[in-house]
Structure 1
Amino acid sequence: MKLFLLILFTISFIFTPSLAQTVVENEERLLQHLKSTLPKHTQPIDLRNNSVYVHFDLGQILDIDEKNGIWTAKMLRVFFYQSNSTIWDPNDYNGTDYLYLPEKMFWGPDITIPEAVEMRYKAHDYAGASYNGWQMTTASDMTMKLSCGFDVTKFPVDEQICTVTFAPTVVRGKGYRISTQRRTAELSGYVEHDQWELIRPVTFDIKEKMYGKVSFSEFQATIRLRRRSLFYQFVLIGPNMLIYLLSTFVFFLPVESGEKVSYIVTILLAEVVTVGTLSDIFPASSLGFPILAYFVTALTVHLSLLCLATVSVVNIHHFSEEDHSPIIEKIVKSKIVQVLRLRPSNSKPKSKIADKGSLLILENHLLENGANDALCENLKHFNNIFRAPMQQSQEPIWKILALILNRIFLFFHMVATTAILLYFYFKF
């Protein structure tokens, strides 16, 4: 057994270099054949269908900068074409059916990406040839910055559409056409982004264009992205809605509590602080101003008006009751106020003295029972005072007016709140 293994090892040691040398020689012969048949600087005359095919695949969305209109992505691009003059029989070259070639060894299409801003990284740039005449001129894994027009009007529930275009650098009258063998990207190795969701499929389209009197074709990949809005709903929209709804309770706080003004001012300051923090979250764009920014601005203005209304109500509530005009008293006691139920039910006038009927009954009772004359005289004196025509009402006019205004402001607040919420709901 040991002798057999020794003989086998000796035979493999002798013949293996010769087999490797044979493979190298065959590939060298094939390389010389391709050099003689493939042009290096000009387009092949037997280009099948006069077309260069583009293969594109998206690997990952790395970053999106809405402010500068730039997105960074990792992608794969492959350019290939078929030339009948490069077809060979694998049996003539010891079964070699594919050969990797040095970059730029033979002609490659001059295709560029118009949206490209910066090439961040490029790897695996190689070429190859197949026995059936297909030539792969460029296969590259790239990390590239590209330009894109972002519309942040519906932030944070917006969708963006970006394109990657492959177009010829130089347009010629009888130049090649750009085509593709697929209509959608594979996306088998795509890595999801934590803030943006890729809307599948990534579609391909061939567009025919004119440059003067010369027509040419472009390959365009359409990439649709949807922002993941869960973070913004909990951090941005939720707190603003809560602050806005809490402002309604200012109308139910009594003025006597002394917290009516401080409450609405605290709500306003909380909203202003929220607006300050939103400057780092909102995309800095004036071309498509976010609807949510309008919403936050409307909330701030509304809360500011509520602050003014609350200060007015508290100020009127503390006016002196001796300084009201007949017009104010007429308004407070008007039928319109009573019909609309704006006047509080507990604001009826209360006399600090017993009513007239009770005084008359008490006076007659004392006279019948022979009460003291001095006591009867005093009782008549109080009765005359009660009957005096110049008696003034003890009704708190200014306090009632403050309550009426509070209810009016509450009504307009509810109408404005409903209108703002419905408007921005349908806008989204």
Structure 2
Amino acid sequence: MRAQKAEGTRDLIGDEMRAWTRMQEAAAAVFHPYGFDEVETPAIEQLDVFVHGIGESTDVVRKEMFRVFSGANYERVLAEGSDASLKPKQRLALRPEGTAGVVRSVVENNLVPQGAAPLKVYYAEPMFRGERPQRGRLRQFHQIGLEWIGAPDPAADAECIIMLMDFYRELGFDLSKLRLLINSMGDPACRPAYRESVRSFIFDHADEMCDECLVRAKINPLRAFDCKNEHCREVMQAAPLVTESLCEDCASHYAEVKAYLDRAGIAYIEDPRLVRGLDYYTRTVFEVEVPGAGVGSIGGGGRYDGLVEIEGGRPTPGVGFAVGFERALLALEAMGVSMVSPADELGVYVAATGADMRTHAFDVCLDLRRAGIRTEADYQSRSLKGQFKQADKLGVRFAVIVGEEELAAGSVKVRNLTTRTEELVAREEIAAYLLAQV
């Protein structure tokens, strides 16, 4: 059988890999000034980390999470018909999102002890969900995420949103073409009563709602706002709004977040039906869309003040966001923007006019690469004509021709493969000359 990648995955090759690298560089450029450091957590965690953190009612846990078993444990599950006899450490899952794993690390390693400064970290990692593969939705996808744990101040919410929008600007988005949606989901003091009002609304309209929404109504009725059934979404337009039920503290927190965004000049749209897809969110939630790009949300996040406690730690507030790489890339392409920088596109091919020039071409390649210039050469004994054909196929911008006459004069010939013009350049100045062409 011919080897093939798993359905819903893709190889990051060439410009896509360079774009992923560029996104990570943009994250460092935007997040480091705010005091964030990079972190990496395991791609595989105990199942309960996600079940407890994300919520049993979510589609992520109920339908999309990949379970992982060793060969021996898989045989036990098949024989027994369930994983009930497995120990918690044997019940594993691939990471469907980044926040729960970071919070698990915070609890396990006591990263935010009593009285300590908040923890500020970000990550760039693959995530895994068993979704039906489609445009912008893969079973292995990549996210840039940021977590700020230990800061209850509304300014932290606002600064997360500001960083998110600055990050999009750094990637090349025109912010005027993005829609930033914000809302408050309340907290344990005011959300229970709101949940009950939504649950009652759904049951009052049971004959108009899909079976999935009726199940959601029993577990977490707020999930009905995310239903993909168009008729359900129309019915939910008349449901009670969370902003009508916020307690005084939540209303004040939300007002302060908006005030900070206004001071920073961040444009936003209040969407009282925005609930996000994970159960751990409290108070501020936000999401970014690109109208017309056909990819849905390209990122979002919010506050999760109860998650550390759910994962076994002491009560500790948190806020963060995540950006989907594949969707962001599709949105940029729809806007006609490339994430590949001119430096990535420089590209040089060093061609030798004959076999006796091969060692001199080797020296030129060495000098250019040590100067940080992406350099290719012939390693298949091609003729000079064949070398130029290879350079064209590689899409490089310049060819450096190493010939006997040029070297005797202390020079090499540089051909611009776009304009087809040539110029003699001093051998010792070739790297500086090429770098000046970026």
Quickly name the TM-score band, shorter chain normalised.
under 0.3
TM-score, normalised to structure 1, is: 0.22
TM-score, normalised to structure 2, is: 0.22
Higher relative contact order (CA 8 A, sep 6+): 2
Q: Which has the larger radius of gyration?
A: 1
Whichever structure has more strand as a proportion of its residues is 1
